[in-house]
């Protein structure tokens, strides 16, 4: 990053540099990689999946309390990658938004509206000095009664999009190009195929054999639209399936 031209224009979230960039937001994107994790989400024909790395920083930490996936409402699941306290803060906000929306409307908040709401909030943080941007990216999945499975990505700039497959985190580039290649060949995936594609994308981008304890996989399917986390045995089964296929 050219420090010369940006002198002083990157110390404050609310200002533009002469080239028209808002540096503090770019730096918030860098903060997403601070925890050194990668997450992948895939939309199949009747299922949406998130696969994300899990790393327990120290053996004295109780491993169950380390997670990047959270349930937002009955039907919406979310993976937050980046600075952990920022991620928890956003998760709590999303849960609050979803709950108050349901209270007002009597049914679960659609995933797209939730993604849009969180993106709008993120945009607000980029423009006002009262608070910095949050160093974390969000992936939402849900099974919608009308639209079927959905995957959304939300970033600190305030941008949100529905995706067929998406990755955020350190290895997002290799993971994304892997997904592009595979989804171009075949986009109507069964739930098993979607799960295995997500895991495989993660494995390929990291360039290592992932073990089930280093992995969290959550799904929503047509048969079970409730946010469900796969057990370690189920993840192990899928890992074996992938290994046997090669």
Partner 1 sequence: SSIGTGYDLAASTFSPDGRIFQVEYAQKAVDNAGTMIAIRGKNGVVVVADKLISSKLYTDNANPRMFNVNDNVGVAVAGNYPDGFALKNYAYGEAMKWLKDYREPMPIQNIANSVAEYIHIHTLGISRPFGAGAFFMSWNKQTGGRLFLVEPSGLNYEYKAWAVGKHRQAAKAEIEKLKIEELDVNQLVKEAARIIMVVRDENKDKNVQIEMGWVGEQTNGKYEEVPSEVVTAAEEWAIAKLDEDDMDD
Which residue ranges make up the site for partner 1 (CB under 8 A)? Answer: 1, 3, 8, 10-13, 23-24, 27-34, 57, 59-62, 64-66, 83-86, 88-89, 92, 129-133, 135
Residue with Cβ nearer partner 1 (84 or 163)? 84
Nearest distance from residue 56's CB to partner 1, in Å? Answer: 9
Residue with Cβ nearer partner 1 (64 or 146)? 64
Q: Which among 79, 77, 58 is positioned nearest to 67, based on CA atoms?
A: 79
CA distance linking residue 160 with residue 103, whole number of Å: 24
Nearest distance from residue 225's CB to partner 1, in Å? Answer: 27
Residue with Cβ nearer partner 1 (59 or 244)? 59
Nearest distance from residue 212's CB to partner 1, in Å? Answer: 21
The sign of the CA dihedral 231, 236, 241, 243 is positive
Residue with Cβ nearer partner 1 (64 or 223)? 64
- CB atoms under 10 Å from CB of 195, counted, come to 28
CA distance linking residue 171 with residue 131, whole number of Å: 28
Nearest distance from residue 67's CB to partner 1, in Å? Answer: 11
User: What is the H or E stretch that residue 75 is in?
Assistant: none
User: What is the H or E stretch that residue 14 is in?
Assistant: none
């Amino acid at each position: 990053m050219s420090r010369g031209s940006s002198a002083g224009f990157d110390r404050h979230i609310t200002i533009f540099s002469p080239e028209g960039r808002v540096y503090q937001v770019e730096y918030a994107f860098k903060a997403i990689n601070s925890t050194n994790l990668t997450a992948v989400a895939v939309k199949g024909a009747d299922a949406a999946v998130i696969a994300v790395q899990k790393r327990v920083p120290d053996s004295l930490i109780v491993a169950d309390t380390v997670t990047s996936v959270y349930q937002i409402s009955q039907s919406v699941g979310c993976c937050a990658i980046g600075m952990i306290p920022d991620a928890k803060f956003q998760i709590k906000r999303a849960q609050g938004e979803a709950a108050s929306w349901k209270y007002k409307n009597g049914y679960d908040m659609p995933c797209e509206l939730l993604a849009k709401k969180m993106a709008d909030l993120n945009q607000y943080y980029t423009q006002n000095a009262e608070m910095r941007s949050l160093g974390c990216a969000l992936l939402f999945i849900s099974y919608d009664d009308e639209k079927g499975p959905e995957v959304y990505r939300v970033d600190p700039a305030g941008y949100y999009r529905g995706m067929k497959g998406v990755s955020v985190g350190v290895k997002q580039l290799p993971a994304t190009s892997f997904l592009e290649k595979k989804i171009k060949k075949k986009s109507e995936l069964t739930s098993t195929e979607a799960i295995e594609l997500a895991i495989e994308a993660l494995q390929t981008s990291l360039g290592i054999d992932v073990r089930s304890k280093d992995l969290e996989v959550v799904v929503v399917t047509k048969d079970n639209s409730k946010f469900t986390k796969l057990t370690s045995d189920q993840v192990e089964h899928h890992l074996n399936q992938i290994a046997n296929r090669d």
